[in-house]
Amino acid sequence: MIVWLNGAFGAGKTTAAQELLDLLPGSTLFDPELVGHGLKEMLPAKRLDDVDDLQDLSSWRRLVVDAAAALLTEVPGPLITPMTLLRQEYRDEIFGGLAARRIPVRHVLLHAEETILRDRIALREEREEREDRGTRERQEEGAEREDREDREGTAVNGAVVASGPVAPVAPDGPSGSSGRSGSSGREGSSAFGPPGAGSGAVADPGSGTGRAAAARTRTWSLAHLAPYREALAWLRTDAHVIDTSAIGPRQTAERIAEAVRNGSGACDIVQTPEPTAETLAAGVLLFDEEDRVLLVDPTYKPGWEFPGGVVEPGEPPARAGVREVTEELGILLPTMPRLLVLDWEAPVPPGFGGLRLLFDGGRLPDEQIRDLQLPGSELRAWRFVTEEEAESMLPPVRWNRLRWALRARAQNRTLNLEAGVPVG
């Protein structure tokens, strides 16, 4: 099991996670931020410059799932995961990937009012500045002490030299370094969020780097308050909400533990095992009276999709499409749908590709549209859209497939595609 602690910066995720380790037997802290740190070390700077947030990297989202699954082979769990996750499509991809590995997720939102969040962010900056000042003062005191020791050692060596040569006292530190190189002695951190944070850099104690880092963190945290406000609508629906405005880390952790024991925040997501070979999938295009096409929003993967799914072994593809429409929408099509497009999808690791079929399910009358039913564990929404609207909602491969299917429907023909290109 994974207990995913979501919330804005300043909501108390990290401190509550530490307290929660004492309350949930067998629990282990799993910080996806470390995955981000690793990617910052490995990916070329040019690729990192292409994204505003490491969560935008598909490799980060996939590695979070893989790392969690791997950790659960080493520890009993649950994994406590304090991580802000504000984009619903990223939630779908990560939680859906975990569901595919049969790893249940408890989604808990730690919420505090914005005025309180702003106060906590400011206090955090002040605390980090105090800690940085204290570090610099300790380093300066250490440097002064080493200077005194060096001077005393020089005087002693000089007295000995008068009576006979002796090897000088070796200074502290590796490779003859005196330990006063101007570095802070702190191990540099590659911050997951705040921009401008270096990877493995060491700060000069007199440079004010610590203050600059604290200011960057504050700016980054405040900038994410607006996206948090926008995400609250879906977060409140998806997660178990705990208000941390007036309680401390221990009380927060106790409420999380109680929610986990009661099954609150359980994400009921359909388990769709990842394919291990090429697959055959059948989608069905359904239209309203204005000839807009129906798209559905899955809970287990990012982006919108056509109604349909994988064809079971030994199942006729058209019947598979009809079955999926009934299971997903509660609609029983009166006749077998006509094939519009057969598209061979090339394997692109980690995907295996396969054949993708799109059928024409015809127009749905208004009363049938009113009766559409969605399985909450699989789909969260449906929408009729124009061809232009669909372009911004579908991944490029699906959009291209839809574009050709609509042309095949208009011309009353069937198109054979290979990697999205008509052949024959």
Query: Pairing relation of β-strands 2-6 and 79-82?
Result: parallel
pLDDT of residue 284: 97
Quickly tell me which residue has 């050709």 as its tokens.
404
**Per-residue pLDDT tens for 33-58?**
999 999 999 999 999 999 988 999 99
Same domain (yes/no): 231, 288: no
Residues 249 and 371 in one domain: no
The pLDDT of 69-81, averaged and rounded, is 95
pLDDT of 60: 96
Q: Are residues 313 and 253 in the same domain?
A: no
Residue 158 pLDDT grade (very low, low, confident, very high; cuts 50, 70, 90): low
- 115-126, pLDDT tens digit by residue? 999 988 888 777
Q: Which domain, by its residues, includes 323?
A: 279-422
The more confidently predicted of residues 179 and 401 is 401
| Pairwise CA distance, residues 286 & 330, whole Å | 13
In a domain, 273, yes or no: no
- What number is the average pLDDT over the span 385-391? 95
In a domain, residue 142? The reply is no
Residue 324 confidence (pLDDT)? 94
Report how far residue 84's alpha carbon sits from residue 11's, in angstroms, rounded to the nearest whole number.
10
**Domain end among 233, 262, 291:** 262
Rg (alpha carbons) of the chain, rounded to whole number: 29
State the total domains in the chain.
2
Query: pLDDT tier at 259 (50, 70, 90 boundaries)?
Result: very high
Are residue 240 and residue 337 in the same domain, yes or no? no
Domain co-membership, 46 together with 93 = yes
As a whole number, mean pLDDT of residues 280-307 equals 93
CB 199 within 8 A of CB 88: no
Do 289 and 248 belong together in one domain? no
pLDDT of residue 188: 34
Q: What pLDDT does residue 410 have?
A: 96
How much of the chain, in percent, has pLDDT values that exceed 90?
62
Per-residue pLDDT, 382: 94
Whether 415 maps to a domain, the answer reads yes
Bridge partner residues of 127 (DSSP)? none
Q: Encoding tokens for residue 50?
A: 């292409």
Task: Work out the percent of the chain whose per-residue pLDDT is above 70.
Answer: 82
Q: Is 424 exposed, middle or buried (0-12, 13-18, 19+ CB in 10 A)?
A: exposed
390 and 332 in a common domain: yes
The CATH number of whichever domain residue 230 belongs to comes to 3.40.50.300
**Is residue 414 one of the residues assigned to a domain?**
yes
Position 208 in a domain:
no
Tokens standing for residue 254: 């106790």
Say whether 379 sits in a helix, a strand or coil.
Answer: strand
- Burial of residue 118, with CB atoms counted within 10 A of its CB: 0-12 exposed, 13-18 middle, 19 or more buried: middle
Cβ contact 108:4 at 8 Å:
yes
| Domain end position, chosen among 212, 235, 262 | 262
**Cβ–Cβ < 8 Å for 375, 282:** no
**Within this chain, do residues 242 and 303 fall inside the same structural domain, yes or no?**
no
Residues 332 and 416 in one domain: yes
Confirm whether 158 is domain-assigned: no
Residues 294 and 371 both lie in one domain: yes
Across 162-166, 246-250, 317-321, least confident range:
162-166
Say whether the peptide bond before residue 78 is cis (omega within 30 degrees of 0).
Answer: yes
Q: What is the pLDDT of residue 348?
A: 86
Q: What is the pTM of this model?
A: 0.66
> Is 146 domain-assigned?
no
Confidence (pLDDT) at 371: 86
pLDDT value, residue 165: 47
**Does one domain contain both 306 and 348?**
yes
| Rounded CA separation 262/3 (Å) | 13
**Mean pLDDT of the region 18-26:** 95
- Among 236, 262, 288, residue at a domain's last position: 262
Q: Which residues contact 14 (CB under 8 A, 6 or more apart)?
A: 82
SS3 content of the chain, % helix, strand, coil (to 5): 45, 15, 40
133, part of any domain: no
CA distance 307 to 129: 54
Is the predicted pLDDT of residue 210 greater than 80, yes or no? no
Degrees to nearest 5, angle at CA 14 with 13 and 20: 85
What integer best gives the mean pLDDT of the chain? 84
Is residue 424 pLDDT above 90, yes or no?
A: no
In the prediction, which pLDDT does 319 show?
Answer: 96
Residue among 335, 398, 383 nearest 362 (CA): 335
pLDDT higher for 376 or 225? 225
For residue 319, the domain's CATH number is: 3.90.79.10
Residues 286, 397, single domain; the answer is: yes
